Structure 1
């Protein structure tokens, strides 16, 4: 689900070093500059990285030779080069490391620098994997961390043995994209099941009322509110009316989320059998509006005549937001719900806790947010969690610290309900639970000091005498709940019941709770006295491996007793089995008939057909394939492109070309971005008719390890999310079912051109202003020298390519690319949107 491998981090090369005698004064942290530089991505021709960290003293006092530590976040494999010796690096926990000077370290005089080279496991593809979050701690004041604000990540420069994506590669990839006139594009998105345009038009003004019966009043009000942002005045919403109106009317016999939309010169009719269907009809009307209409207030807007009959392909169209690793404020969550609603996504999977944070107030257990909702420098996690993912030493950091109050959560639920979005809360257990564990430790200590031993032990999540040693994939050594403890289930029941009360207060539907269940490392529970007692006394538990089924069996009974079904990551429905001498995961028949809904993310490393195996076995499967839907993966293999890459690279095309019922058919590249041989998939298990009935939908997760702001969140999310929306809503495209490969490729190229033209000419211009505007990613241009001239293209037609020939950065005033460039020398190109925002520039030499 969310592997964060020990990827290549930095190393420190020796720059000029000057030393001075230790001064009685200490330099301030802001006077220390930390510079990181990548030196070699395959150091010594091995799968390891060499990088350099340079400490520059810009203050007046010398940095002493000892008496301090420099904390930062990076892979624990980050170690000083053997020849360095002046510092040592210690692993604190998770991704938090501490650099400590040794007896060989000499003080750094004012104005001087010292560099240290480091090696780390794996390769470093982009700057997101560089060490970050540096802060200084003095030995004589160990409880205080002071952030180093002056940090620099140097450009990649010449990095050996690695091939980043080039302008030529991008150009060739874009070559089959046709520029389609805007008037020929389908004007509703996602693509409707049936769509036709008439020769009629309708002029929409604020004087056109919305006529809706009471059952559709909420949908009418939301539509009127949006139209007010365009027309400057909110149209009236009324129960009856004649003439030219927007009519929301009931029509029996349509599927629950189906609708019909007709726009003619006489008015607009949206018909459906349910409020959800009406709502999706209104969202289609919104995407029918000309995108340019959102830029400024309009007196009137002309709409093309259309006749649409539409219904979704899947009933479960999900987006998952991780707010545990890094937090997002309530207003940003509401904005994302508006985005989901516009593109007819109807499930918001809310990942509310993990090792690095607990984000929902549970009034009965205040420590969950008082301790588990904050990150900052700490020696013992008693008041807050340790810094992770560059959150730094201060608990005031809004990415590392934050939570939703009960009132916030109720507001989110109500906002989602009004937009026909179901919110599935995730309580990540038993792994990825460090925030909860440490919070309950703090509660235990508080109540023990008050002499309330029984109450203190009521919600403990670990055996205090457990000596088990383990390390999770994210390098935590204390993040797994002890499932043998009765207090664990007291904790879960309290959290669940308080959460359900919030749903009740919000009037919001809830059918399931997601209990995580992934990435529990080996070694857990082995030395827990409580576990050993359970093994001795419970005949159903023979070893620690059986605890998995023991735990989810009890959790399943708990949710069933509350009229819910259990959701989780794929591991909740798997068991280990020996095959040909190796351990593999196979569907567990014990839970196959229990209505478990599993988000299957792993379609790599021999598990390419795991989702189909689980569906064929009886599990309800949400396709959450890492290769096509992990929205936090970097768009492309480029040093300056942010995001993770352990599961490959994920550009706009990956969600678009996903074929839900035969996804290996369009599997195009491996995790390194290289072409993949699809013949190796020929013996994989295919979906049966029964298995096909168990594929309930699609989901795109956004994990937040590297997402520290709303702007970065939107950048990683868009425009990739639109590919997910298209594939979840629209019917199977012709190219997906065409058996002739040559014909399929031709059909795909045409469909891809339609899609990217729709994005570039309609949806991204709309999102420039919609809901306050989104910081979507603007692609880098493709460029190639052909016949002595520079040719350029763009992934999303409708965006503008501009260029310079003098080495300067292109701006909105630079020349627009309209044809081959004859100028010689270094040509710099950049793509701009309708508002003048730009992507990264590329440079190509025309010699």
Structure 2
């Protein structure tokens, strides 16, 4: 009877709570965010506003609700408007709570909340993200408003890159005729065009006498069958493509000879043959990707080729925002085409765990989902604008074992190794919360011992910390024995997947970056560990303890440990101040270190060179030149972060791996640098050069929500990454005469951007149904009452309108100066008719965004 009464009480309580929720449809609200003052009180802060408009027929009450949103920025809590507080919940999740001064919003009316952001606003990704409402009486469910509008920043805000600036940057680019351009990218080690053409047609036969090239032969035949849309007929003896085995080309080298009657590709390995075939495909006209061909003329060339670096990687973050399997396969296609050989998959982070681990199902049943929660017991909270429920595919999703095996096989077929990253010990909130959910489930089932087996934090830990991304509970407790049980369990499940896929697993990345100060200081597990390990005298020593144990786990399985730079550093002091030096403990362990931190002006500009000189196998992932997610330049319509640099494709192309100080000219804010910052910094020794094993371009995904945004940020920068990682060191990198080096660089840069505009981007407009690569904004300059326009990639089409309308693929093509009358807008289009961002005149008669 008591149980029945209790159920009745609970039922009435639920009804009462439901009845307390106002009868108001949040879909009838429109939210608008805008910048009020981007130099508020003459400080580097912005006064911003959130305007709530009631489009319905019911009144929004003055209280009883909160707005939650995500942002990568800090805020002053008290709203300047005096009607609300802006409070941080955890990580990038914030709440807006109306106070007694907030007035109910009647139908057709608006309310305005003005608050201070402790940063200025530059581009649209600086706006708040994914706002949603939660009623106090129903705190477990969130509701999206009917509309959320971000108002653009005033184009006259000082310091923004205008079309006139772009025009002047483009002026130095030489327009090179298409027939004078090299036809292969990345530029081969040796490339010579000879007389004549090879006519590729359906009667051409692909021959391979060596079984080791059978797969490559099949893939080339499949490409040709698709190009011609038919099966091959019998071959003419004088019209063949022969794939031959030849010693002496190393792991990835090849030679390609195209003569009028025969094509010969020779290589020592299947990988080298694959790259030779990519170069042959590069010689094909881009029209092959747009339509079926009756025949193709291939220019006669003599090529001998091998890569500069053996490690050529792309790091893809799918933890912050998820990309589905098909999108990863699309990336792999172009990685193979441009001779990149490693996909570093950042699979786990605070905001998500994206790979199924069959032994630990909570990792995906809990940590692959994001929605409205304040306790993270069953799923993770909204991050990066993912919203209050699981419907957003950027916030919720993971790769099943079958998905991941398919990715591995697809990569293997393109001679790409997939390196998984399991982020530890920081950036691990997803894993921590998932293992807590597992613990709760098993404790409820009476299995306390089993429940504790994989716990990643000590319940008695009172340590107070805050990570760079503002989390206060995202670091694994490395003092716990269960941490290492967890690591080994995850590794074993990964090994099984790779084995099933028949794919190599030479390296696993275990993160290591951005562990905040004060972690573990009040952990009972840490205090217990110190008693049995006298070498551990402070929490800094836990770092070496943790990575030493992880390294031993991997060594038993013949797997190399990789990590971010902090893994290879030892905390010490210099002149009484905290400092980091290369850790001698791990130098001879063969670990791989990915170094991202060379932010100009922050003091670590030479960190990669320090570690390489110390003996660590170093991958350059430098934020100044190799981060895909940095905004191209300072403009409202260019997405991405810019804390490390504004980073256009020229930064990728101009990167000098062995001396990136040499041509560094601007700081992270785009201002001319004081070269004295390099005084006393370590230069790379010849020994250190041997330890630079390669380059890596990185796409961190906080601002990347869709497949189209992913492609916008990566392409065509990826082609420049491939060029710099594969091609030999250009002469301009070592030229001592600065004026001559500048001229040589401009000639090489002109060659590259002409190749992009006239060969590669027309190809990517159609390949795989078309990639959403970034189309540059045109440069525009006003002179003598006329507008002059140019484009970064010669060969791309500029179109314009004079009536204020948005230019389309049918608008007039720009062929010369346009009268500065009416409202003139310019826009660049790709070969398929897709347009980029618009440049237009400003009211002050100067081009603006």
TM-score (norm 2): 0.95
User: For residue 358 of structure 1, what is the aligned residue in structure 2?
Assistant: 353
Could you say which residue in structure 1 is the equivalent of 2:764? 767
Partner of 1:207: 203
Q: 1:11 maps to which residue?
A: none
Cα pair 1:37 1:153 within 8 Å, conserved: yes
Partner secondary structure for residue 146 of structure 1? coil
SS in 2 for 1:140: coil
CA distance in structure 1 between the partners assigned to 2:722 and 2:653 by the alignment: 9
**What is the aligned partner in structure 1 of residue 74 from structure 2?**
77
Aligned to 2:386: 391
Assess, with a 3 A threshold, how the Cα gap between structure 1 residues 83 and 357 changes in structure 2: closer, same or farther: closer
Residue equivalent to 1:265: 260
Q: Do the aligned partners of residues 166 and 81 (structure 1) sit closer, same or farther apart at CA in structure 2, a change above 3 Å counting? A: farther
Matched, 1:322 2:336: no
**Pair 277,111 (structure 1): closer, same or farther in 2 beyond 3 Å:** same
Structure 1: gaps spanning 5 or more residues: 1-21
Matches of 1:25 and 1:589 in 2, distance apart? Answer: 64
Alignment of 1:207-286 (within 5 A): 207-212=203-208, 213-233=210-230, 235=232, 242-286=237-281
Report the counterpart of residue 734 of structure 1 in structure 2: 731
CA distance in 2, matches of 1:231, 1:759: 25
Pick from 446, 456, 472 the counterpart of residue 477 of structure 1.
472
Partner in structure 2 of residue 418 of structure 1: 413
Further displaced range: 68-77 or 430-439: 68-77
Aligned residue for 1:96? Answer: 93
CA distance in 1, matches of 2:659, 2:171: 26
State the Cα distance separating 1:293 from its structure 2 match. Answer: 2.2
Distance 1:25 1:140, change over 3 A: closer
Structure 1 partner of 2:688: 691
Instruction: State the partner residue of 1:791.
Output: 788
Structure 2: how far apart are the matches of 1:842 and 1:790?
11
What residue is the counterpart of 1:376 in the other structure? 371
State the partner residue of 2:813: 816
Q: Which 10-residue stretch deviates more, 835-844 or 741-750?
A: 835-844
Gaps of 5+ in 2: 1-18
Query: In structure 1, how many angstroms separate the alpha carbons of the residues matched to 2:777 and 2:102?
Result: 44
Instruction: Report the alpha carbon displacement of residue 708 of structure 1 after superposing the two structures with TM.
Output: 0.8
Residue 30 of structure 1: aligned partner: 27
**How far is 1:678 from its partner?**
2.7
* 1:662-683 deviations in Å (ceiling 9; x for gaps): 1110112111112223343243
Distance 1:711 1:355 in 2: 24
1:317-375: CA deviation from partner (whole Å, max 9, x where unpaired):
00010000000010111111001000000011011000000011011100000001111
- Indicate if the aligned counterparts of 2:464 and 2:518 stay in contact, CA closer than 8 A: yes
Residue by residue over 1:504-524, the C-alpha shift from the partner in whole angstroms, topping out at 9 and shown as x without a partner, is 111111111100000000111
- 1:780 equivalenced with 2:777 (yes/no): yes
Runs of 4+ in 1 over 3 A off after TM superposition: 22-25, 79-83, 240-243, 822-826
1:107 aligns with one of 99, 104, 112? 104
Give the superposition deviation at 1:684: 1.6
User: Are the counterparts in 1 of residues 78 and 85 from structure 2 also a CA contact under 8 Å?
Assistant: no
How far apart, in 1, do the equivalents of 2:29 and 2:570 lie? 51
- Distance in 2, matches of 1:309 and 1:203, equals 22
Distance 1:24 1:532, change over 3 A: closer
How far did 1:789 drift? Answer: 2.5
**Aligned match of 1:650:** 647
Q: Deviations over 1:286-305 (max 9, x none)?
A: 11111122111111111111
Give the deviation of 1:25 after TM superposition: 5.0
Give the aligned partner of residue 4 of structure 1.
none
- Cα distance in 2 for partners of 1:635, 1:43 equals 26
Partner of 1:592: 587
How many Å apart are 1:222 and its aligned residue? 1.9
Over aligned residue pairs, what C-alpha RMSD do you find? 1.7
Secondary structure (helix, strand or coil) at the match of 2:371 reads coil
Q: 2:332 aligns with which of 318, 337, 341?
A: 337
Q: Which residue of 2 aligns with 1:439?
A: 434
Equivalent of residue 83 in structure 2, options 83, 86, 93: 86
1:721 aligns with 2:718: yes
Partner of 1:64: 61
Deviations 1:378-434 (A, max 9, x none): 232121100100000111211101011111111111111111001111010000000
Tell me the CA shift for residue 737 of structure 1. Answer: 1.1
